[in-house]
Amino acid sequence: MHRSTNRPFRTAAALAAVLSLAASACGGGDDGGGTADGGGADEVTCPYDALESAAGPVEITIWHTQTALGKRTLEALVERYNAAQDKVVVKAESQGVGFKELHDKIEQAAPDRSLPAIVVPDDTKTRYVADSGLFLPAQACFGADPEGQAILDDLLPIAKASYTLDGQLWPASFTTYTALIYFNQDHFRAAGLDPANPPETIDEMIEAARKIKAANLPLVAEPMVVKAQSFLFEWWLSGAGQELVDAENGRGGYPTEAEWDNETTRSILTKLQEAKAEGILKITPGADGNADHLLAMATNSASFGVDSSAAASTVAGVIEGTVAAEDIKAEFGVDLPPGLQLDLDLGVGPYPGVDAAGKGQVGGGVWYLTNTVPAEQQAAAWDFMKFMNSEESQRTWAIDGSTAPVGTEIADDPQLNEAWSKTLAGRWLKVAYDVLAGIDTDFPGPVIGPYDEFRREIEKCLDRVLLNDEPVGPAVEEADAAMTAALERYNQDVGAG
Amino acid sequence: MATDRTRGVPPVVRNAGWYVLLTALSLLVLYPVWMTIVRAISEPFVYIQEGQPFFPVAVDWGVFGTAWADGAMGRSMLLTTAVVAVITVAQLVTSTLAAYSFAYLRFPFKNVLFVLLIATLLLPIEVTLLTNVRTIRELEWLNSFQGLTGPFLASAFGIFLLRQGFLGVPSELRDAARLDGFGHLAFLRKVALPVNRPIVGSFVLITALGAWNNYLWPRAAVTEERWETIQVALRRISVARPERFNVGVAAAIVASIPILVLLVVFQKQIIRGLTAGAVKG
Amino acid sequence: MTAPAVRTRRTSPAREALLGYSLLVPAFVVLGVFAYYPLYRLVHYALYRPNRFATREVYVGPSNISDVLGGDEFLDGLWITVKYVLYTVPTGLVLGLLLALAAHRHLRGIKVYQAIFSSTVATSVAVAAIVFFGLVNPEIGKFGDVEFISLARAESALRGVALTSIWQNIGLTFVIVLAGLQAVPDAVIEAARVDGFGPVRRLFRVTLPLISPTLLFLVVILLIFGFQAFAPMELLTNGGPARSTETLVFKIFRRQGPAQISEGAVMALGLFGLTFLVTLLQLTLLNRRVHYGD
């Protein structure tokens, strides 16, 4: 909304451009400095007793991504903690749906070190956390605090194995999920399959799908449904003992080559592609928040599918008619009238794998302590995490929050076991917990710096092969090359050449 | 504009035709507003079950209260008002001073400086976003008042507008002021500004309107909930919770009320401000 | 363009110059810090890429600029932005014109219609996006399954998002065109009528040419709004599906982190260049048509 003549404009712009080019060309590389520290190189101390000397109540903030049920449970726990003592006041702030936004925020905060006391990204950030210099390894606190060892010993072995790097356990707690197969027991029975013995391998799933298709049940279109999500494939690979990167899957040093392109990957993709062509498998888009796979099962057009155990409570609740309408919407993006009871006889089983069921990795939220806040906040954060790991909190999380508890002793808790047997959701969560407690700790999954980029590439590959029906070979090769390039860039960034 | 009498159509019919057309167009323009109100006051799941009808169902007027309380709208409205006030006053002050200088004072390199000023119109916040965020973070102004208002404390557009206005003050007034022994400040306060009251008024309103509606910068300059301005808070209240969309929509309606009031009360000045430059004279 | 200054009895040119500079200081400090300094740093980040931990910077040089500007991400963003402008500017222009032509007459109660047409000026981008979320969102929107504007498909999502801007711009375009029409003297139209020009001919041969500066001004405003579009994309589709609604500003916004800021800075400079071109266009066009019909 201005008026001026031509010439002043052009001169001004030219002047500005020339000035800025000259200025910045003269400026050398700022922030020249050393390489980022690898995790655990120096002795790190946990200021766990800084709380004693604090003047007033210490305020700390948590960045998390829980929604609906999980969010309410977390907020209830936070309230309980705040009410029970007056040294620490905790505030939990939800950072949006899905982990992407939170990961972005963490990376953006890196240059100015402006993270809050606790952040809860997902299970893929271990390498980044260790390399960034922004986090306090919880291992230091487990060691420094006399109460710490007992907690440490009790934690789920697979979680400890997954999140330990260079001998340090980085997170102070976890909100774990694993994967399950959800299947329609009526359909199984009608097709002559035994609901007490769900498929345990991918081949068995495809066989089951063929049998159900052959039984020609009404409404059933493609019996097997899979959402094109990266983690499902990652877990198939690690369940089969296949590495995703070299250097011992990233646990023996910085990996330099991606190994996505391997026999197992190609075989899985080829089998699924063929199953889809056969008309027995439906592939749904992998976008965050897309719940087409669950809808397919809800409408009986699919008979079984695989997904995270995080949805277990809500799915079970929908079936029993006990879930709040908001949670259905928040979890699945569908509007179902409240109180609706789906007439489905669903069962769950451990995640079928390449060779066997119940393998794979730990997934879910991981609770990290940051070192970018003053010592008393770090101490306050550690105190809160002790509360989160306490038996009572674990019980609340497990019963109200639909996650698996983080400890091993809690499995004998009578209250918890009662909840686990009383409701449908409870029974399913018990299955998930047993899987988690039993995963082989020798192969806990890869450690990858640029994990987000890996996931993007895998998802692109899945889209190409499974949604667009492109040939498996080139798609896998190209994804592999892109992933290796990402590793190179990461290693450069970290100074690991 | 006189109505046409060609073709022998009687004015009554012709007018009726226009009324019909105008009403139809109005309904089209207002349709989204109406549907928004309907959605706000209807119970969401019932509304969808009924196929999203034109009239509200299962009306719940309490939704506005819920939106206000749940979304902590009071806090963000207050914050936004404060931010808008600071930005408007600051732009008025910086623009007035600079415009006065350009209009009435003589000094070397005046033209160069003016060109440099106008050139900043090529650097809207959309272009400078990334590095302005860096600056804010480095100054530890993230999640702060300074961070929210900083980039908007001065505006080339304002300086340009006011300078035009000052240049337009008739020379008789200037001569009279000089004869009366007015210093610069007195001239500014008693002649230059009062004469340009319409332009200044419009400028203030347009600036306030723009600052209230700002989305990109507050979204980038803030990571804590309690520092969210109302537009950014709306994102959290409505779009991020589609299952409670009635609450989100109600929040949007409540957030629009201050502007609607402003528009109704200051309609003339706002329109003048918007059309400045569009029409000569 | 200087005007004779008001002088007190004792002003010397030196004092006047001092005063002149000091009055400029506040505005220039703000603009220096928030307009010029960021521009300099953008150029810096275009040439130096930080590592993802922001502990080091690597010189990548001008080839980085050409790589990014020629790369898929920037070109996609540019194309999407251009498409968005193509969706919103002509429609905005035509709608504003139609409404203004319809409401520019002496009828009882015409002010009411004028108020209604200009009412969308009261909406912010966030509010307009929420309004349309309720109308075009694929799951809860009333028109969520209309294919032409479906937010669920990559080909059509941008159109659905554009609806938000088109509707929101109605108020502004109406107000501006109406002002333009009102500035046309009745006598001129009357003269044309007397000369036997029918309504259609009057429109195209007399009215439109007379308000062409206004229309051009409006086009420029709409262009600028179109290039700066961000909130509707973020609120309605979050850039999806499959990044089909990621305009340049959107892509820039997403590149704040240290690992992407270099790419983002180049894109921002590209946007700067685009703004520059558009402004140049505006000036040349405006200058050519400014004295029409007076």
For residue A10, list chain B residues with Cβ-Cβ distance below 8 A: none
**H/E element holding A297?**
helix A292-298
Cα-based angle C81, C82, C83 (whole degrees, multiple of 5): 90
C23-67 residue pLDDT tens = 999 999 999 999 999 999 999 999 999 988 888 888 888 999 999
Same-domain pairing of B16 and B137 = no
Optimal mutation site among C49, C68, C123, C195, interface B, most CBs of chain B within 10 A: C123
Contact B101 C179 (CB under 8 A): no
pLDDT (average), residues A89-112? 87
Q: What was the pLDDT predicted at C88?
A: 95
Q: Is a pLDDT exceeding 70 seen at residue A442?
A: yes
Lowest mean pLDDT among A8-17, A345-354, C122-131: A8-17
Cα Rg of chain C (Å, integer): 24
SS3 content of chain A, % helix, strand, coil (to 5): 50, 15, 35
C55-89 confidence digits (pLDDT tens): 888 888 899 999 999 998 899 999 999 999 999 99
Chains with at least 3 CB pairs less than 8 angstroms from chain B: A, C
Q: Can you tell me whether residue A57 is helix, strand or coil?
A: coil
Q: Average of pLDDT values for B250-263?
A: 89
Work out the pLDDT band at B6, boundaries 50, 70, 90: low
Average pLDDT, chain C: 87
Domain assignment of residue C164, yes or no: yes
CB A309 within 8 A of CB A404: yes
CB atoms within 10 A of CB A382: 28
Task: Please give the tally of structural domains in chain C.
Answer: 1
Quick check: helix, strand or coil at residue B279?
strand
At A127, list the tokens. Answer: 């390498």
Most confident of A270-274, C102-106, C108-112, C185-189: A270-274
How much is the mean pLDDT over chain B? 87
Q: Specify whether B49 is located in the same domain as B130.
A: no
Residues B161 and B224 in one domain: yes
* A215-228 residue pLDDT tens: 998 888 899 999 99
What is the pLDDT averaged over residues A175-196? Answer: 90
| Winning range, highest mean pLDDT, from A4-8, B76-80, C210-214 | B76-80
Query: Is C4 inside any structural domain?
Result: no
Angle (nearest 5°) at CA A417 between A412 and A423 = 165
Global confidence as pTM: 0.83
Residue A324 has pLDDT above 70, yes or no: no
DSSP structure string for chain B: -PPP-GGG--HHHHHHHHHHHHHHHHHHHHHHHHHHHHHHHS-HHHHHHTT--SS--S--TTHHHHHHHHTTHHHHHHHHHHHHHHHHHHHHHHHHHHHHHHHH---TTHHHHHHHHHHGGG--HHHHHHHHHHHHHHTT-TTSHHHHHGGGS--HHHHHHHHHHHHTS-HHHHHHHHHTT--HHHHIIIIIHHHTHHHHHHHHHHHHHHHHH--HHHHHH--SGGG--HHHHHIIIIIT-GGGHHHHHHHHHHHHHHHHHHHHHTHHHHHHHHHBTTB--
Residue C179, domain member (yes or no): yes
A329 pLDDT above the threshold of 80: no
Q: Are residues B88 and B30 in the same domain?
A: no
| Boundary-marking domain end, from B27, B43, B61 | B61
Q: Which residues of A touch B240 (CB under 8 A)?
A: 96-97
Residue of B nearest to C271 (CA): B127
Query: SS3 string of C250-267?
Result: HHHHCCCCCCCHHHHHHH
Residue C224 lies in a domain: yes
| A244-247: Cβ within 8 A, 24+ apart | A244/A446, A244/A448, A244/A454, A245/A446, A245/A448, A245/A483, A245/A487
Q: State residue A3's pLDDT score.
A: 41
Q: Which residues contact A107 (CB under 8 A, 6 or more apart)?
A: C52, C257, C258, C259
Task: Give the C-alpha separation, A313 to B125, whole Å.
Answer: 45
pLDDT for C7 beyond 70: no
B86 touches chain C (CB under 8 A): no
Residues C272 and B127 sit within 8 Å (Cβ to Cβ): yes
Judge if B96 and B4 occupy the same domain: no
Distance separating alpha carbons of residues A285 and C17, to the nearest angstrom: 67
- Is B203 found in the same domain as B241? yes
Residue C8 inside a domain? The answer is no
E-strand spans in B59-214? none
**Does residue B91 sit in the same domain as residue B217?**
yes
ipTM score of the complex? 0.87
Distance CA C42, CA B130 (A): 8
What residues does A90 pair with on adjacent strands?
A60
Residue A33 has pLDDT above 70, yes or no: no
Q: Is the pLDDT of residue A321 over 70?
A: no
At residue C287, does pLDDT exceed 80? no
Contact yes or no for A281/A275 (Cβ under 8 A): yes
- Based on the fold, state whether residues B138 and B87 are members of the same structural domain: yes
- The residue assigned the tokens 């959107």 is C250
C8 chain-B contacts, CB cut-off 8 A:
181, 183-184
Take residue A391 and report the two structure tokens written for it: 């038996």
The per-residue pLDDT for A342 is 64
What per-residue confidence (pLDDT) applies to A19? 45
Cα–Cα dist A496/A256, whole Å = 10
In whole angstroms, give the CA distance from residue C237 to residue C247: 12
Q: Phi/psi at A180 (nearest 5 deg)?
A: -135, 160
Nearest-Cα residue of chain B relative to residue C178: B275
Q: Which residue has the higher pLDDT, B166 or A310?
A: B166
Residue B130 has pLDDT above 90, yes or no: yes
Question: Looking at residues A313-331, what average pLDDT do you find?
Answer: 66
Mean pLDDT along residues A189-207: 92
Q: Is residue C56 part of a domain?
A: no
**Does residue A37 register a pLDDT over 60?**
no
Last residue of a domain, one of B23, B44, B61: B61
Phi, psi at residue C258, to the nearest 5°? -55, -35
Tell me, what's the pLDDT at A26? 39
Determine the average pLDDT of the residues in A48-54. 82
In chain B, whose CA is at the least distance from the CA of C6? B178
Q: Which of A465, A226, A267, A231 is nearest to A355 (CA)?
A: A267
Please enumerate in sequence order all residues whose Cβ is within 8 A of that of B157, keeping only pairs 6 or more positions apart, or say none: A1, A2, B121
pLDDT of A234-259, one tens digit each?
A: 999 988 889 999 998 999 889 999 99
Query: Most C CBs within 10 Å: which of B184, B279, B280, as the mutation test of the C interface?
Result: B279
pLDDT at A472 over 90: yes
3-state secondary structure of B93: helix
Q: Give the integer Cα–Cα distance in Å for A412 and C240.
A: 46
pLDDT at C190: 85
Domain boundary (B9, B30, B61) is at B61
Q: Which residue range(s) make up the domain with C242? A: 77-287
The two tokens of residue A257 are 């080559």
- Domains in chain B, number: 2
| CA distance, residue B59 to nearest chain C CA (Å) | 17
Residue B154's pLDDT is 95
CA distance A116 to A93: 10
Residue C51 to residue A133, Cβ atoms within 8 A: no
3-class secondary structure, A224: strand
C120-179 pLDDT, tens digit each: 988 888 999 989 988 888 767 778 778 888 887 888 889 999 999 999 999 999 999 998
Same domain for B231 and B130: yes
Q: Is A380 exposed, middle or buried (0-12, 13-18, 19+ CB in 10 A)?
A: buried
Identify which of A230-244, A354-368, C237-251 has the greatest average pLDDT.
A230-244
The answer to whether residue A366 scores a pLDDT higher than 50 is yes
**Strand, helix or coil at A226?**
strand
Lowest mean pLDDT across A86-90, A337-341, B269-273, C267-271: A337-341
Are C54 and A110 inside 8 Å of each other by CB?
yes
The helix-helix angle for A312-320 and A68-84 (nearest 10°) equals 110
**Which pLDDT band holds residue A42 (cuts at 50, 70, 90)?**
low
| CATH number (domain holding residue B243) | 1.10.3720.10
pLDDT at A337: 53
Average pLDDT over residues A37-47: 60
User: Do residue B142 and residue B273 come from a single domain?
Assistant: yes
CA distance B266 to B200: 13
Domain that holds residue B120: 63-279
The answer to whether the CB of C211 falls within 8 A of the CB of C184 is: yes
Q: Cα Rg for chain A, rounded, in angstroms?
A: 25
Say yes or no: B246 and B187 in one domain: yes
**Cβ C57 vs Cβ A32: under 8 Å:** yes
Residues B53 and B91 in one domain: no
| Contacts with A494 from chain C: Cβ below 8 Å | 51, 53
> Tell me, what's the pLDDT at C199?
82
Residue A23: pLDDT band with limits 50, 70, 90:
very low
Q: Is B1's CB within 8 Å of C193's CB?
A: no
Answer yes or no: do C133 and B2 touch at CB < 8 A.
no
Asked if the model's pLDDT at residue B199 lies above 50, the reply is yes
Report the alpha-carbon distance of residue C261 to residue C254 in Å, rounded. 9
Residue A14 has what pLDDT? Answer: 43
- Determine the pLDDT at residue C185: 86
Does position A327 have pLDDT exceeding 50, yes or no? yes
At residue A341 the predicted structure's pLDDT band, cuts being 50, 70 and 90, is low
| pLDDT higher than 80, residue A30 | no
Segment among A26-40, B64-78, B239-253, C198-212 with least mean pLDDT = A26-40
Q: Does C103 touch chain B (CB under 8 A)?
A: yes
Task: Write down the pLDDT at residue A54.
Answer: 81
For the ranges A400-404, B239-243, B273-277, the lowest mean pLDDT is seen at B239-243
Q: How confident is the model at residue A415 (pLDDT cuts 50, 70, 90)?
A: confident
φ, ψ for residue A490 (rounded to 5)? -60, -45
Cβ <8 Å between A1 and B134? no
Q: What percent of chain A has pLDDT over 90?
A: 43
Which chain A residue shows the shortest CA-CA distance from C54?
A111
Q: What CATH number has the domain bearing residue C281?
A: 1.10.3720.10
